Each structure stands twice: as structure tokens, then as C-alpha cells.
Amino acid sequence: MNLQGCDITDFSQLFKIFKTFQPTEIYNLAAQSSVSLSFKQPIGTIKFNIESVLNLLESIRLFNPTIRFYQASSSEMFGKIHQLPITENEVFHPLSPYAISKASAHWLTVNYREAYDLFTSCGVLFNHESYLRTNNFFIKKVITEAISIKKGTQTILKVGNLDVKRDFGWAPRYVEAMYLMLQQATPDDYLICSGASVSLRQIIEYVFDYLGLDKDKIVIDPELFRPTDIEDIYGDPTKAKQKLGWNYDMHFMEVLNILIEEEWNGKVFAA
């Protein structure tokens, strides 16, 4: 593995990377990806998440138009839901600066496919979790802080609105779908999801039960509520199943079992 640092908002740096490594496929997973932080830093979120994608697309167009490009789009783009389950035909109505930035980057990617005939595909991924998540993500926060309570180094867990529902999945399986998108004969956009939603309350109570913790240690903090939020969202992965041959059948409680055990045992990934 060769790790090379690069500021993707700097077009000149990108071009040097392209010349040095001569890529044939690019998977863009870079973003300011926190919805909560985007409300506090809307300018920085929108600027980075759009400009970085535009730079990548322009670099491909000018350097080598045969490069295949994957853009990480987000289920947050749908926002105000009109119908469930979500399909690829659902209209975007983003409810956060983060969602707005991802929707803009999504349409940039589609436009470069249509205007310049580039091989660009967007994976509209719903929530996907792994041990590698940072602590500002809900699942990671709940598990790490619940373990701290179990070990006696923390007394309570503060959380926001637990009544919202999300479509959660296992990140390693979702990465398989990303790869499959760039192996197709023609570029397209796909929803990558489990097809079911679960409430944050169900998740946090499952984690506490798994660790044998009293639920009175869960404290609702109004300061952690978002100004606007999606109440319930889950997608229909039929297109990905039919065209990519991607099948996903993990219940999220199975994923939680893996994540809790990995966190408890301090899983370490070799470089």
C-alpha cells in the first residue's frame, strides 16, 4: 500500500498525483461527512464537498477521460421523504448543509457523465458502519461510551433524538458494491442499503442490553438535537441486486454484535 497525501481542493496537487500514479479507477470517499458539524460549519462543508469533486472530475477530463470514477453520494440527499422505500427515482429535498453539498456533488458527477461522456458512477450509500468510524458518528459513540460505562470510566451516555429511524448496514459489504459499480460496461447510479430501518432507540437499548447496563444511564440532551432531521428512511436495493449482483442480508443487530466485540477487544488493523 502506498499512501500519498494530497489536498484535493488544490487542482495542481491533484494533477501531480495523476501524473505520478496513472490511475485507472478513482474512488472518492473524501468529504466533511458530519451532518451535525455541517450546521455549525456550513460554508466549509459546502465548499470542500463540492470543490473537491469538481477538481477530481476536471482532472479526469483533462488528464485521462478513460479513468473510471466513483462518487460517494449519501442517503441524506433525499431529506424530506415523499415515499418509502426510497428508490433511485426519488426527488432530493436535502435538510442539512451536508446533504446539500452531497446533492450538488452528485449532480456534478452525473453532469460530467452526460456532458463529457466520462465513466462516472454514484453510489448512494445509506448508513454503513465499521470499527473504523470516528467517535462523532452515532453508532461508534454509543458503543464506545457504553463500554466506558461498563468499565466504570464514565457514568452516563448523552444522546439526542432517539426516535428517528435509519437504514444501517455493514461497511465492508457496501465497499464491495462500490467496486462492482466500476466493473460494469456502462456507468450508472445505485442505492446501496439494507432495505429496512431501525430506530436509534432500538440500537442504543440493544447495546445496553448486550453489555448488561441499566438504561437509566441514557440521558436525552436537547442540545444534541439537529435543527432539521429525517424521521424515517430506508432504501430499495433492487437495482443493485439485479444489475450488480450485489446481495445484502445482514440484520443490523448482527452488525452491532460484531462492532461491540471489535470495540471491546480493541481491534487493530495492520497497515
| Per-residue pLDDT at 267 | 64
Cell numbers standing for residue 209: 442490553
* Residues 127/166, Cβ–Cβ less than 8 Å: yes
CB 161, CB 229: distance < 8 Å: yes
Nearest to 194 by CA among 150, 146, 254, 115: 254
Catalytic residues: 74, 76, 98
* 228 in Cβ contact with 80 (< 8 Å): no
pLDDT value, residue 26 = 97
CATH code for the part of the protein at 11-263: 3.40.50.720
Q: Long-range contacts of range 82-89, CB-CB < 8 Å, 24 or more positions apart?
A: 84/232, 84/233, 84/234, 85/195, 85/234, 85/235, 85/236, 86/191, 86/193, 86/233, 86/234, 86/235, 86/236, 87/191, 87/235, 87/236, 87/238, 87/239, 88/124, 88/189, 88/190, 88/191, 88/239
pTM of the model: 0.91
Would you say residue 204 has pLDDT above 50? yes
pLDDT averaged over every residue in the chain: 94
> Residues 236-271: pLDDT tens digits?
999 999 999 999 999 999 999 999 999 998 864 433
Nearest to 30 by CA among 2, 61, 52, 3: 52
% the chain with pLDDT above 70: 98
Average pLDDT of the segment spanning 30-58: 96
Q: Is the pLDDT of residue 192 over 90?
A: yes
pLDDT of amino acid 107: 98
**52 phi and psi, to 5 degrees?**
-65, -40
Q: What are the tens digits of pLDDT across the range 128-177?
A: 999 998 888 899 999 999 999 999 999 999 999 999 999 999 999 999 99
Task: Check residue 134 and give its pLDDT.
Answer: 87
Contacts of 96 (CB under 8 A, 6+ apart): 35, 38, 39, 76, 79, 226, 228
What is the model's pLDDT at position 115? 98
CA distance 12 to 62: 12
pLDDT computed for residue 136 by the predictor: 84
Categorise residue 111: left if φ over 0, alpha if ψ from -120 to 50, beta otherwise.
alpha
The pLDDT score that the predictor gives to residue 224 is 87
Alpha-carbon distance values, 187 to 28, 69, 113, 126 (Å): 15, 9, 8, 20
**Which residue, 173, 143, 175, is CA-closest to 251?**
173
**Which pLDDT score is estimated for 270?**
39
Label residue 66 exposed, middle or buried (CB < 10 Å: 0-12, 13-18, 19+). exposed
Q: What is the average pLDDT across 57-61?
A: 97
pLDDT digits (tens, 9 = 90+) for 113-125: 999 999 999 999 9
Average pLDDT over residues 228-234: 88
The pLDDT of residue 111: 98
For residue 97, pLDDT over 90 is answered with yes
- 194's grid cell: 439494507
